[in-house]
Structure formats: C-alpha cells, structure tokens
Structure 1
Amino acid sequence: MSQSIIFRTMTDADIPRGLELCRIARWNQLARDWKLFLELSPQGCRVAMLENQIVGTVTTVRYENRFAWIGMVLVDPIVRGQGIGMQLLQQALVLLSDMPSIRLDATPAGHPLYCRLGFQDEYKLSRMELAVPASITSPTSSVARPMQSKDLPAVAAMDREVFGADRRLTLEWMLAGAPEYAWLITRQNEILGYSFGRHGYNFEHLGPIVARDQPSAQQLVTACLQQPSNRPFVIDASHRTLEWIDWLESIGFRGQRPLLRMFYRGIPFPGQPQNQFGILGPEFG
C-alpha cells in the first residue's frame, strides 16, 4: 500500500460516500439511516481515508451504559485484503473501551475476523426474504392495531426489558419513518407484542418484531404485509423455534443468509431474546 490509512470521525458530509459503499456492497441503508447513526453517536462513527478518499466505515451506538453495538463495517472492494476492516474494528473497540459489553451481528464472511478480535458467539439469526409479496390473509381479522405516538412510552418500557437497554429515540425514528409497519397488540392494557419497520434501498425491512408468543408475532407480520407494497421484504429472524422459521417459509419467506449475534467482554444485560422474533437489524441490534 503506497499511502498510509488515516482514520477520522465521520460527519454528515461523508454520508454520500457511505451510501456509495452501501450500493457497492448491495446493502439496504438510506441516507436517513446514516443520519441516525451520527445523531445517536456523533463521535462514535469512523471512516478510513486513503488518498483523500473514504475507503471504509464503521459505526458504534451506545445503549445507555449497558452495552454498545458495532455496525456498518464497510470496506471498498478495491482495497480489501489489506487489513482495513480489522483496523476499523480496532478503532471501534478503542472508542468503546469503557463499555462493559460490546455486541454485533456477524455475517459468515465477517465471523472469522470478529473471532480473532475476541468476540464470542451468542445465538443464531437468519435473514429471511419475501421476494414477491403476496396477499397474506389471517384466519380471523388481525388483532393488531396501528401504533400511535401515545403508545411509545409503554412500548419503549417493554422494549428495554426485551432488548436489554433503552432505545426509545430509535423507536420514535422508526415510527416517524414508516408508520405503516408500526403495530401493537394489547390485552387488558398489557402489551402482547409490537412491530416496527423501515424503508430501504433494496427492500422493506421489518423489525423489531417483539411478542410474548408466536401467534402474536404472526399477527404482527400479517398486519405489516397487508399494507400496500410492491417491494420485497426482509426479516432478520431469530431461531427462537423451528416453528417460527417454518411459519415464515409457509407465507413465502426464504432464507437469504445466516447471521450470528456475538459479544465481547460478556453479556450483563442479555434482554429477553426468547421474545425477539425479529431484530431491528444487524447495524442496530
């Protein structure tokens, strides 16, 4: 490598290049996603520079003082194989050196790299894609209702228990950006489940999908898919039960790629993974 790599904090001015790297990698993020990373973590996102050109990115998000998330590890293909991805991850670990736990969702390609840095496996996920949305009908009318802003305090309180930390700002961002995928199921003032979603470059991304039981999760997905759309959908689904994956496949979803949730330094706040039927996304947790 003729020039040394320079690392610096990412800014709003770097978003167009971040989007270019997303398109090269065929990732789904929009400018709105990058802006949220920078709002949540103004000093926690880094870029790698080579000859005044951004050739790599990494994002970090702190969830309270409980754990942090690493995401958006992107490296331009023209400079891959030169250790830039490893250096970006090391930059992220330095930024998060005061956090008791660091987590991420690894692709098969990234898994060996994370293992070398000391990350350990937590549990499996699968990205499931519905390439051609069909009309999904429930045996009975859906019990889910559209979520409203006034529901967010109670939803965020439950989400903190299930996810393991507070992320109300992100949930507000999701409700504002794609209200058609924000659904809620309640019974006698108790929340049985909720869903969110967001728009993307390649597909509509459903998640988080949180529920006390699988029938409620199915109702939430059904409500989302009944919204008018001619775009494909994805869900990053947990392997909570084989029945859950089987049900997604029965309505047309197919496995796109496996993911593996990993942790560094321990998991003092694991949340309730048994109630997470679909995560928000690998870049957010």
Structure 2
Amino acid sequence: MSSTIRDPSTPNIEPASQDDIVAAAYVYQAAAEALSEQFRARNPWTNSAARAEDLQLAIRTLATLRASDDRSVIVARDQHEIIGLTAVQIQHPHAHIAFYFVHPTAQNRGVGRQLLDRIRDVIDQSGATVTTLASSRDPKAWQRYLRFGLYPGPPLLPFRAVNPSFPGTIPENRDLANRPITSNDLDTIAELDREVRGADRRERIGQWLAEGSVGSIVNERVSGAAIGYALVTMGPHHGQIGPVVSTSLEHFSYLLDLALYVAGTVPNPHKRPWRVDLSARNHLAIGTLLDAGFSAENLVNWFESDPIGKWDRYIFRDEDEL
C-alpha cells in the first residue's frame, strides 16, 4: 500500500480563517509596495500614517469579504506562514477579484497560478457570470489574466481634491424632483443598481446609510419613477462622492451636480480631502469634476471578462475600497 506525501515546498491553498486576516493584509501590502517600486508606480505609502491607514483598510475589507462568505478569501500557506492571498467580492452576477498578491519572497514558485485556480472555483460555484479586477503593470500577471479569460477594459479614474468647489445652491431641473434618501428606499435603490451598477448591493447601501452616509434620490415629476440617486460620505480620512447612479445619460450631469451640492452640505466639508472614483467609460463626469477642482491621481488598469452594467453613467463607492 502506498500513500501520497505532500511536497513540503508546495504551499497549501485554503480558505482563510479569521486569524489569518491580519497576516494576509501584511502580505498584500508587502507585495503591492514591491510592485510600485519595480514599475515606478505611484507609491500610496508616502508616510507611516498613510501606510497604517492602508493596512487597516485592507484588514477591514478582507474581514468584511470573509464575513459575507468564508470561501471568499483564499490564502497560500507555507508551513505556518501565509505567503499569498486572493479574495473575491461577489454581487451577482458580478465577481470582482479584490486581492491577488504573492509575497515578494515567494514569487516564481507557481503560487499565483494556484491561487487563481482556486478563486476561479469559488467564482464558478457562485454562479457569477462576469469577473473583473484592477491590475498592476506586471506583465506576468497580465498573462495570467488573459489565460483566465479577462481582457483589458477602460481604466478606472481616481479623482482627488484637497479643497474642491461645491455648488452653493441645489441644482434645478423642471422635470425632476429630489428628496433625501432613507432606509425605506433600499428596494428602489436595488432596482436602480441592478440596471446601472449591474448588481444588487442593497446590504452595502444600508450599511453606508447606517454609518452616516447621506444623499438624494431623484424621481421624474410626472410619472414619479425613480431615475437615480447620489450618496456622499465623510469618513475619518476623506470625503467620498459615490455611488452616483443615473438610468439615463441625459440626467447623469444633474445627478452629479446634486452629489456635489450634497457633499458641500455635510458638516465641515473642507476638513478633509475628497475622492471620486469612476470608469473611463464615464465621459460625462470628467469635465464637471475638473471644474470643481478635482484632478485624476492616476489610471488604474482594469480587466474584465465582459462589460457589466452601464458604467458610462455611474460613479463608484465600494469598488475603490477593494
């Protein structure tokens, strides 16, 4: 009788436990920093405070993903040490690979391929039909994404402003009416998100409202039909405009103007910098944001198996946190 003995040089690829989350976040940060240095990309860790903030955000995001599905965060473990991770956020029919990193000391051992194979199994079992991820400039990673069935799409545009100019009066449109969003609007927002975002994220919207996000829902005056909404958040480190959702290109500019107005009404709106994140598919937002004092921080490479939703009339919130 024979038995199979595992090669000790081959890592275990397995779902992360709650106790693995902090170590996995450190692997992400080490790998991401090495990539930024290798490709001379923008370094988001310009000081120790920024590095600590980024690490805490990674820990929170990984913990949130694992809490929603304990298969969604996968780690590569060599003996007792975590050397790689991948994680996916699934909002049917969309699967977004939020993390995919191997520690610099463990690369060129096939760890990345094994992680990608395992997360593909998780995505396939979920029934998601569209997969996306944001990518570095690493050509080896691009080759893996192409073999995975992902192809470059329009990049993501992270806009930032230290002291943006917000409208002093609420925008007007004789055909549209707006009112503050409440938790009673979650069903309506879910319908709008399915059409424009391409996925229902009722739970996330409810969470953001409970945490203090504010915004407006917009209806046609005659029919009463909801045509969009805008949400803004003042967080501990920055203000966030988004999501902004419009069912039509015609009304998107009004929704964005409304979002900027709402941002200007939060307490001490210029206490912290502001951020807005969108796909380069959204041409309508760029001029308005530039006029308000925002500038594009960089371009983020985006891979997708297929386009999802109507992102030419959409501004993110959760995608940039992943």
Q: Say yes or no: TM over 0.5.
A: yes
The one-character-per-residue Cα deviations of 1:229-282 (angstroms, maximum 9, x if unpaired) are 533332221224544212212222222222344333x56xx3222321335315
**Match of residue 12 from structure 2:** 6
Q: Is 1:16 the equivalent of 2:17?
A: no
1:220 is matched with: 259
Deviation string 1:32-73 (CA, Å, 9 cap, x unpaired) is 433321132222221122341223221123333x33221122
Aligned to 1:235: 276
Answer 1 or 2: higher relative contact order, Cα 8 Å, separation at least 6: 1
SS in structure 1 of the partner of residue 170 of structure 2:
coil
Partner of 1:50: 78
1:167 alignment partner AA = R
Structure 1, unpaired ranges of 5+: none
1:117 partnered with 2:111: no
Which range moves more in the overlay, 27-36 or 196-205?
Answer: 196-205
Per the alignment, residue 141 of structure 1 pairs with 170
- The 1:83/1:279 distance shift into structure 2, 3 A limit, reads farther
Q: Write the deviation string for residues 182-230 of structure 1: whole angstroms up to 9, x where unpaired.
A: 4433343333432345677864444322124222123213422542353
- Of 79, 83, 87, the residue aligned with 2:114 is 87
**Which position in structure 1 is the counterpart of 2:129?**
101
Equivalence for 2:304: 263
- The structure carrying a bigger helix percent of its residues is 2
Given that residues 155 and 279 in structure 2 are in contact (C-alpha distance below 8 angstroms), is that contact kept between their aligned partners in structure 1? Answer: yes
After superposition, the Cα gap between the structure-2 partners of 1:199 and 1:226, relative to the gap in structure 1 and judged at 3 Å, is closer
Instruction: Give the counterpart of 1:171 among 205, 216, 232.
Output: 205
Alignment CA distance shift 1:231-1:53 (3 Å): farther
TM-score w.r.t. the length of structure 2 is 0.72
Aligned-residue CA RMSD (Å): 3.2
For residues 61 and 241 of structure 1, the distance between their equivalents in structure 2, rounded to whole angstroms, comes to 23
Is this contact kept in 2: 1:71–1:282, CA < 8 A? Answer: no
1:206–1:141: structure 2 CA closer, same or farther, 3 Å change rule?
closer
- Corresponding residue SS for 1:257: coil
Distance 1:148 1:20 in 2: 37
User: Is 1:36 aligned with 2:74?
Assistant: no
Q: Please point out which of 130, 146, 160 is paired with 1:129.
A: 160
Question: Any unmatched runs of 5+ in structure 2?
Answer: 1-7, 33-43, 45-53, 173-177
1:140-184 residue CA offsets vs partner (Å, 9 max, x unmatched): 22576542111111111111111223221222222223424x443
- Partner Cα separation in structure 2 for residue 21 and residue 199 of structure 1: 29
Contact 2:153 2:304 in 1 (8 A): yes
Shift of 1:74: 3.0
Contact persistence 1:106–1:282 (CA under 8 A): no
CA contact (8 A) 1:127 1:234 kept: yes
The answer to whether the 8 Å contact 1:193/1:209 transfers is yes
Count of paired positions: 277
Counterparts of 2:113 and 2:299 in 1: how far apart (Å)?
21
- Partners of 2:217 and 2:229 within 8 A in 1: yes
Is 1:254 equivalent to 2:295 in the alignment?
Answer: yes
Q: Is residue 184 from structure 1 mapped to residue 217 from structure 2 by the alignment?
A: yes
Contact 2:75 2:85 in 1 (8 A): yes
Identity of aligned residues (%): 21
